[in-house]
Amino acid sequence: MSFYEKLKALNIELPPVAKPVAAYVMHVQTGNTVFLSGHIAKKDGKPWVGQLGKNMSTEEGKQAARAVAIDLMATLQDACGGDLNRVRRIVKVMSLVNSTGDFTEQHLVTNGASELLFEVFGEQGKHARSAFGVAQNPMGACVEIELIAEIA
C-alpha cells in the first residue's frame, strides 16, 4: 500500500503547505536530508492555544501533535517535489510541548505525531525523537514539532 493509499484509508487529506510567519523557510534540503521547520498545532486554521497541565489534557495534546504531523507531511510532500513516495526514512522528530513545570507527559503528547508517522510510513516512519516541555510556543500554541527526513 502506498503512502497515499494509507492516508486515504485514514481519511486524511493533506492541507496546503503553511507559509512562514517570520524570517525562515519551511524546509531546507542538503544532500538526501530534508529539515522541516517547526510547525505549530492548529485547530480550525488557527493556532491551537493551550498549556498542558493547566488547561489541556494529555489526550488533547496528543490530538494536537497528530494534527501537526499532518501539516508536516504536507510540507514534506512539498520538499519531495509533490511525491511522498520519495521519502526513504523519517529520521528525527523534535517536539516542544507548551506545559506547566510539573507536567511530565510530553512524551505521551508527542506520541500523537509519532504514531501517525508510523501508520503512514510503516518501518520507514520509525524515528529518533526528543520531546521537551517549554514555557511557551509561538502564538501560544500547545505543541510545535520539527522533523528531519531522508528522501530519494
- pLDDT (tens digit, 9 = 90+) per residue, 100-152? 999 999 999 999 999 999 999 999 999 999 999 999 999 999 999 999 999 99
> What pLDDT is attached to residue 14?
97
Long-range contacts at 41-47 (CB < 8 A, ≥ 24 apart): 41/65, 41/67, 41/68, 41/141, 41/142, 41/143, 41/144, 42/67, 42/71, 42/141, 43/67, 47/138, 47/139, 47/140, 47/141
Tell me what percent of the residues of the chain surpass a pLDDT of 90: 97
> What pLDDT is attached to residue 1?
79
φ, ψ of residue 148 in degrees (nearest 5):
-120, 135
> What pLDDT is attached to residue 144?
98
Look at 16-25, 61-70, 80-89, 134-143 and tell me which has the smallest mean pLDDT.
16-25
pLDDT band for 99, please (50, 70, 90 cuts).
very high
pTM of the model: 0.97
Q: Which amino acid is at 20?
A: P
Q: Quick check: 29 pLDDT over 90?
A: yes
> What pLDDT is attached to residue 74?
98
Q: Is 49 within 8 Å of 61 (Cβ atoms)?
A: no
Number of C-beta neighbours around residue 53 at 10 A: 20
Q: Is 69 within 8 Å of 110 (Cβ atoms)?
A: no
> What pLDDT is attached to residue 21?
87
Q: Which amino acid is at 94?
A: M
Identify the CA nearest to 37 among candidates 20, 14, 54, 12.
Answer: 20
Sheet architecture: strand order including 27-30? 27-30, 33-40, 143-151, 87-98, 128-134
d(CA 118, CA 92): 12
